[in-house]
Chain A
Amino acid sequence: MSVWFGGNNKMCAYRHGRLACLALIALSGWTWTQVASAQGDIVGFWDQPATGMTLGTALAPLFGFIEDSRERADGPSPVDYLGLPLNEEGRSRALAYDAALLGVPEHVCMRHPSQYSFWGPARLRISAELDSNLNMVSYVVGGTFRRADRTIYMDGRSHPPDYAAHTWAGFTTGEWRGNTLVTLTTHLKWGWLRRNGVVASDQSTVATFYTRNGNVLTVTWIVHDPVYLTEPYIKSVDFITQPVSTARFGVEPVDAGDDYFFKCFTSEEIAKPDQHDVPHYLPGSNPFVGEEAKRFGIPVEATLGGAATAYPEYRDRLQR
Chain B
Amino acid sequence: MSSALRLLTPLLLALAAVTTVVSAQTTSPVEPEVRGAPLGVMKVQGNVWLIAGAGGNIAVQAGDEGIVVVDTGAVGLTDAVMAAIRTISDRPIRYVVNTSVSAQHVGGNAKFAALPGGSLSGKTRGAKVRILAQENVVARMGEVGQGGTPAYPSQAWPVDGYYVPERNLVFNGEVIDVIHQPSAHSDGDSIVYFRGSNVLVAGDIYTTTSLPLVDRARGGSLTGLLRALNKMIDIAVADDLAEGGTYIIPGHGRISDEADLAEYRDMVHIIRARIADLAGRERLSLAQVKSRRPLLGWEVRYGHAGWTTDMFIDTVYDEFRARRAP
List chain A positions with a Cβ less than 8 A from chain B.
Answer: 88-90, 92-93, 96, 101, 104, 106-111, 146-148, 161-168, 189-190, 201-203, 226-228, 263-264, 266, 275-278, 280, 282-283
Contact = CB atoms under 8 A, between A and B. Distances in A.
B309 to A, nearest CB: 11
A167 B255 CA distance: 11
B225 interface: no
Contacts of B292: 283
Contact of B266 (A92, A109, A226, A278): A278
Interface centre among B241, B270, B277, B301 (most CB of A within 10 A): B241
Interface in B253-287: 253-260, 262-263, 265-266, 269-270, 273-274, 277
A36 B270 CA distance: 55
A278 B269 contact: yes
Nearest to A90: B297
B58 to A, nearest CB: 11
Contact of A164 (B255, B294, B300): B255
B263 A190 contact: yes
B242 interface: yes
Contacts of A264: 240-242
Given A165-B257, A166-B260, A189-B260, A92 B243 contact: no
B177 interface: no
A110 B238 CA distance: 10
A319 B187 CA distance: 59
Interface string B216-256: 00000000000000100100001011110001000001111
A282 B292 CA distance: 12
B228 to A, nearest CB: 11
A125 to B, nearest CB: 16
Contacts of A277: 269
Contacts of B259: 106-107, 110, 168, 189
A106 B233 contact: yes
Given A109-B241, A111-B242, A201 B230 contact: no
Contacts, number: 110
A280 B276 CA distance: 14
B273 A282 contact: yes
**Nearest 8 interchain pairs by C-beta:** A106-B262, A93-B297, A163-B52, A278-B269, A109-B242, A92-B296, A92-B297, A165-B255
Given A163-B50, A201-B301, A278-B265, A266 B238 contact: yes
Contact of A161 (B42, B57, B233): B42
Contacts of B50: 163
20 contacts: A89-B297, A89-B301, A93-B297, A108-B242, A109-B238, A109-B242, A147-B241, A148-B241, A162-B254, A163-B40, A163-B50, A163-B253, A163-B255, A165-B254, A165-B255, A165-B257, A168-B259, A201-B301, A226-B300, A227-B301
Contacts of B208: 202
B240 A263 contact: yes
Contacts of B297: 89-90, 92-93, 96
Contacts of B258: 106
Contact of B273 (A89, A165, A280): A280
B299 interface: yes
Nearest to A167: B243
A120 to B, nearest CB: 15
B277 A165 contact: no
A3 to B, nearest CB: 22
A203 B42 contact: no
B298 interface: yes
A106 B298 contact: no
A148 B243 CA distance: 10
Interface centre among A88, A89, A201 (most CB of B within 10 A): A89
A202 B247 CA distance: 17
Contacts of A161: 40, 42, 52
A127 to B, nearest CB: 19
Nearest to A109: B242
A92 B265 CA distance: 17
Contacts of A89: 296-301
Contacts of A92: 296-297
A96 B270 contact: yes
A94 B300 CA distance: 15
Interface in B16-71: 40, 42, 50, 52-53, 57
B200 to A, nearest CB: 13
A243 to B, nearest CB: 29
B66 to A, nearest CB: 25
Contacts of A280: 266, 269-270, 273
A109 B243 CA distance: 9
Contact of A282 (B53, B242, B277): B277
Contacts of B253: 163
